[in-house]
């Protein structure tokens, strides 16, 4: 099947799934006061969508994580498919930040809000700070959180300078930071693209960095943390661009 048809098929199926299954699951999740049902709703749909689009995800490093510990995950960002790929790869009930416009989409916006996702308006500094505070509070409550520290997608796949905000959040949340290397998503869907192409994506979960073990004052701790995350992410992203082939890999 051609990539455009695959993409259209995935969009139609997932939209129908969301409209049909979303409202009753939202109601039950609200009644029992738990978001785990929303996670159970979303992850199989994401994995199906990636599989149906011909995207295979090879995951390494999950054994570096402690199931009893929550983390702040920091992946590099070069494609619109990075968020679903990371969610599928981590296999954990994670929260994220998202553009405020996403929260206005019928059903979908309600689902991600109920799931604990945090809206962000980057153009409004005060609102962005408030979003960071909300995310830090979720970390303190024991939830996993994913944030893309570059702040936007890289056009060429090279790591962009990391923003300071995520490291304030890490320090305030007081949980280990986990760099996550993602390769292959730019070839699957480039920035600005609307078609998902079949291919292989690699996700490597790096060793957690204990924020509380870093010495110094607040600013120096944040800079040390930012340097370490930058080094970890850049370490496996500087190789030559790969030609994507739909070979079989471990499916997330």
Residue 26 lies in a domain: no
Residue 39 lies in a domain: no
Could you tell me what percentage of the chain is helix, strand and coil, using 3-state DSSP and rounding each to the nearest 5? 50, 15, 40
Residue 157 lies in a domain: yes
Number of structural domains (the chain) is 1
Residue 145 lies in a domain: yes
pLDDT tens per residue, the chain (252 residues)? 788 898 998 999 999 988 898 888 888 777 777 777 788 788 888 999 999 999 999 999 999 999 999 999 999 999 999 999 999 999 898 999 888 888 888 888 888 888 888 988 877 778 888 888 999 999 999 999 999 999 888 888 889 999 988 999 999 999 999 999 999 999 999 877 889 999 999 999 999 999 888 877 778 888 999 999 999 998 765 544 433 333 333 334
In total, the chain counts a number of residues equal to 252
What's the domain range around 194? Answer: 56-234
Question: What SS3 class is residue 204?
Answer: strand
Residue 136 lies in a domain: yes
CA distance 207 to 65: 8
Residue 88 lies in a domain: yes
Q: Is 50 exposed, middle or buried (0-12, 13-18, 19+ CB in 10 A)?
A: buried
Residue 188 lies in a domain: yes
CB contact set of 31 (below 8 Å; sequence gap of 6+): none
- Write the CATH number for 166: 3.40.1130.10
Residue 252 lies in a domain: no
């Amino acid at each position: 099947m051609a990539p455009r048809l695959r993409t259209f098929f995935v969009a139609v199926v997932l939209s129908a799934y969301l409209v049909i299954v979303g409202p009753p699951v939202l109601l039950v999740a609200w009644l029992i006061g738990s978001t785990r049902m929303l996670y159970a709703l979303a992850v199989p749909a994401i994995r199906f969508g990636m599989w149906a689009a011909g995207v295979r995800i090879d995951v390494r490093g999950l054994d570096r994580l402690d199931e009893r510990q929550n983390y702040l995950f920091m992946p590099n960002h070069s494609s619109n498919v990075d968020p679903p790929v990371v969610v599928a790869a981590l296999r954990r009930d994670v929260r994220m930040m998202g553009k405020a416009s996403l929260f206005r989409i019928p059903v979908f916006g309600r689902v991600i809000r109920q799931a604990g996702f945090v809206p962000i308006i980057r153009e409004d500094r005060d609102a962005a700070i408030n979003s960071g505070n909300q995310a830090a509070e979720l970390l303190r409550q024991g939830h996993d959180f994913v944030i893309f520290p570059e702040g936007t997608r890289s056009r060429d796949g090279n790591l962009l300078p990391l923003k300071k905000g995520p490291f304030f959040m890490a320090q305030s949340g007081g949980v280990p930071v986990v760099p996550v290397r993602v390769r292959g998503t730019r070839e699957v869907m480039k920035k600005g693209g609307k078609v998902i192409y079949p291919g292989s994506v690699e996700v490597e979960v790096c060793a957690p960095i204990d924020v509380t073990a870093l010495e110094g004052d607040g600013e120096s701790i944040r800079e040390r943390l930012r340097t370490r995350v930058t080094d970890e992410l850049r370490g496996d992203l500087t190789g030559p661009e790969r030609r994507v082939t739909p070979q079989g890999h471990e499916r997330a």
